Amino acid sequence: MYETPRFYRSAAILFASLVITTILAGYISFEQTFLVDRLLPASKSVLPWEIQASSDSEQDGESTIQVHDAVQTLDYSFTLSDKAAYSYATLALYFNPQDTATEFANLAKYPLLRFSVKCNPANTLSFTAVTRDSAFADENHPKAFRIPTAFFSCNEQWETVEIDLRHLEIPEWWLNYHGVSLSDRGYQLSQVANLSFGVSIQSPRHTPSSVKIADVELIGRDWRSLYFFAAFSGIIWLTFGFWFFKVHMKILIATLEEQIQKDRPLIAYQQLSVEPHRDKEKSAVLRYMATEYANPDISLETAISALGINRTKMNSILKDEIGLTFSAYLNKLRLTEAARLLSEKPEANVAEIAFSVGYNNVSYFNKLFKNEYGCSPKMFKSIYSQKGETAGADNENVTQS
């Protein structure tokens, strides 16, 4: 059996430990659920990549592109020509460059791409996540890769742009060119070959243009960590609550038993009332208190009037004999009898017992009872009711055996 101070000290230490553990687990879970993984600067990239620049000069066009920096920022300049049917200048981040075969990055857990950008002159650029179409085993097939795209504007001032990776649009011309239904616009972020920044139909032609892109970040949501945290927290706190309640109830029952045993002489008020005393005044005071405590109108003044004893003598007798003041002894008698009735008469309700021992205010009775026994009258009654049921079941088992 736990000792009461040791139990509550252990419970407090365990509670504090669980709070700290929960906070740490929550912080770790939050960090793993709400991800912010960098692609740029290159030294802090969560995925390996290499830069490839391309333009329509590869198809007999005259557009040019030149990369100035691909370590701290993506800093490049280009000039678009209208000689080619589809003029373009693109800077792409290809993943896993150390392998000779085409590799892919799994970006399925990242709903957003965020970066800072500025352009000179003002421009409307495109962003494309080139994704593999799993319907084609041959990666050289012209339809093996899809080009879901979004557009963003930039000017000479740094601006933050967020791209929703899950709601990109596959251009109609691409679908029509490859003979794919216009309704078939799905794509898979689990296999991304590269992320590219290109021009748009609104980009200026024959105009030297520059672009700087910085702080490229993948914003992720991985809910598995949050689910694990919720399950982990629920288990440890439910376990703690069950343990605390079980041991607390054992200690509470033991404490109540001990207090009832200590107060048992007060319960036997009939014996107290006829017990001889050498001092008649003491005998009269104790007999009066033991027989009149249930009277709701009893007070120090009425007791003094009934016994013909002055206030000083009355308090002196109670202090010497019981160690309590008049009101404290009166409440002690009433609460002790209430505890006896609650434990022996499960059919009676709390209000009836409160009235029977002299309390007209049930709320006040509840407050005094809880201060005296450490639990409400209702809980006290429930504890003894359960105890009686358990004892009855044990006796029945013994009889049957």
Supply the DSSP string of 41-106, one letter for each residue: SGGG-SS-EEEEEEEGGGGT---EEEEEESSSSEEEEEE--SSSTT--EEEEEEE-TTSSS---B-
Please indicate, yes or no, if residue 5 is contained in any of the structural domains: no
CATH number of domain containing 182: 2.60.120.430
Domain endpoint, select from 165, 189, 221: 221
Same domain, 121 and 212: yes
Same domain, 50 and 189: yes
Task: Report the C-alpha gap between 68 and 47 in whole angstroms.
Answer: 22
Task: Report the C-alpha gap between 213 and 118 in whole angstroms.
Answer: 7
> Where does 77-200 have alpha helices with state H?
172-177
pLDDT in tens, the chain (401 residues): 456 778 888 889 999 999 999 999 998 888 888 889 999 999 999 999 999 999 999 888 999 999 999 999 999 999 999 888 889 999 999 997 554 455 789 999 899 999 999 999 999 999 999 999 877 767 777 678 999 999 999 999 999 999 999 999 999 989 998 888 999 999 999 999 999 999 999 999 999 999 999 999 999 887 888 899 999 999 999 999 999 888 877 777 777 777 766 665 554 444 444 444 446 778 888 888 888 888 888 988 888 888 888 888 888 888 887 788 888 888 988 888 888 888 888 788 889 999 999 999 999 999 998 888 888 888 888 877 766 555 554 545 544 44
Same domain, 195 and 90: yes
Please indicate, yes or no, if residue 21 is contained in any of the structural domains: no
pLDDT at 341: 86
Distance set, CA 199 to CA 65, 81, 95, 116 (Å): 11, 12, 21, 17
Same domain, 73 and 215: yes
Domain endpoint, select from 161, 186, 221: 221
pLDDT at 262: 67
- Amino acid found at 183: S
Please indicate, yes or no, if residue 8 is contained in any of the structural domains: no
**Residue 45, C-beta contacts closer than 8 angstroms, at least 6 positions apart:** 38, 39
Same domain, 183 and 319: no
Same domain, 152 and 295: no
Same domain, 312 and 168: no
Number of structural domains, the chain? 2
pLDDT at 218: 95
Q: What angle do CA 81, 84, 90 make, to 5 degrees?
A: 65
Same domain, 54 and 203: yes
CATH number of domain containing 394: 1.10.10.60
pLDDT at 238: 94
Best CA proximity match to 47, nearest among 111, 97, 113? 97
Domain endpoint, select from 166, 191, 221: 221
Please indicate, yes or no, if residue 337 is contained in any of the structural domains: yes
Same domain, 213 and 153: yes
pLDDT at 232: 92
Residue 43 near residue 268, CB atoms below 8 Å: no
Distance set, CA 231 to CA 29, 30, 294, 337, 342 (Å): 12, 14, 53, 47, 41
Q: What is the pLDDT of residues 330-383, one digit of tens each?
A: 898 888 888 888 888 878 888 999 999 999 999 999 999 888 888 888 888 887
Please indicate, yes or no, if residue 67 is contained in any of the structural domains: yes
Same domain, 79 and 205: yes
Same domain, 351 and 213: no
Tokens describing residue 40? 């740029």
Owning domain of residue 317: 268-400
Count of C-beta atoms within a 10 Å radius of residue 224: 11
pLDDT at 274: 42
pLDDT at 49: 93
> Where does 180-295 have alpha helices with state H?
223-267, 269-274, 280-292
Same domain, 175 and 276: no
The radius of gyration of the chain from alpha carbons, rounded to an integer in Å, stands at: 42
Please indicate, yes or no, if residue 47 is contained in any of the structural domains: yes
pLDDT at 97: 57
Please indicate, yes or no, if residue 193 is contained in any of the structural domains: yes
Please indicate, yes or no, if residue 317 is contained in any of the structural domains: yes
Beta bridge partners of 328: none
